[in-house]
Structure 1
């Protein structure tokens, strides 16, 4: 059973949500304050975290930044107003998904199941992502990707990527030079369970570009999409 930590100061939210989660083999622990949530996360044992944006001590964005400095645990953020800017900021600082309040518990479960599947793939090299089976390292000028280990080496240095960033890079790297539209990227990375918008793709690409600097490897084609502009090295 996957363990999920909810950090939300609404005392009435945790108990009914925990009962509902049990139907989907999810065990929910509720922390009311960021300090308590961080303590629990640092103790280990959780597979995903849900963060509310409006919190005492620090807001959900600051909390997400703090967690990201220490862990790559999947994070789903809850935005009280459903504000697009809240979602944009959340994705920019490393959240894996978002859900506006009020939300349907089943939709939250669907979002969690999506990020947990991606997490399982990253922790199980023997079960590569679809399309990577039997595929060895992908080597480019200045960049090496290992689908089995889900590792990235940029000019000899390892690069830490979130699950979404790695999947996007792999999507582009499998067919360097091919232009992938935003809709295609959304379908490949999120599937039909998450109601995302094309701006989310731009955010993840921006984060990925910064992490891959000084390489200039992701090209934007106006009104078309993105492609990997690196020369593939032969084995």
Structure 2
């Protein structure tokens, strides 16, 4: 048996794109979906037939998780830290054991705060996976070329001084978490922008991730960005899907 996980920033609650977003999710047949930008708490649970868990936000937008009904949920809640957006978690009995799945959306504007938020998440997650829009570049790639195409008002979000800001993801790696796409990903890595979903503030960047604790990471055999069809207009982010066995 296997476990399929997805993360998807649906852009401002989905709006009139909500039915298309639900079809994208259902077509991927995930067991758990991490969602970001749940403005208005959209009815994706009802549209997909999954259970929906939402963590509200003080300053930004809610995040949440969808869990397939065949999985046993052992607990659910929010990570109680002052995130710019929020972080939600569920603990499930899955085919790869009892694990915690976290959906997070890090601050889009300030790299220093993203690093702090990443530290909170790394301290919270002991056995499981972290998914979400981390608004952060990975610490292994060369990003200067992509960033150079952005107007400075958006480029500065991804800079630490004059260098690409990788502080949040570098912290996760130092804490022992494994970037699953880097481990077993296939196809293009960039998750923004889509071709018809907006995203003028983006260059071709990877901002959406799945990180796993070291005991879980070897179980993942495939990770890919979902492109084409409705995914090109469903949001300004592409969904990321990974499978563990």
Normalising by structure 2, we get a TM-score of 0.31
The structure with the larger Rg is 1
Q: Name which structure has the greater RCO, CA cutoff 8 Å, separation 6+.
A: 2
Which has the larger helix fraction?
A: 1
Which has the larger strand fraction?
A: 2
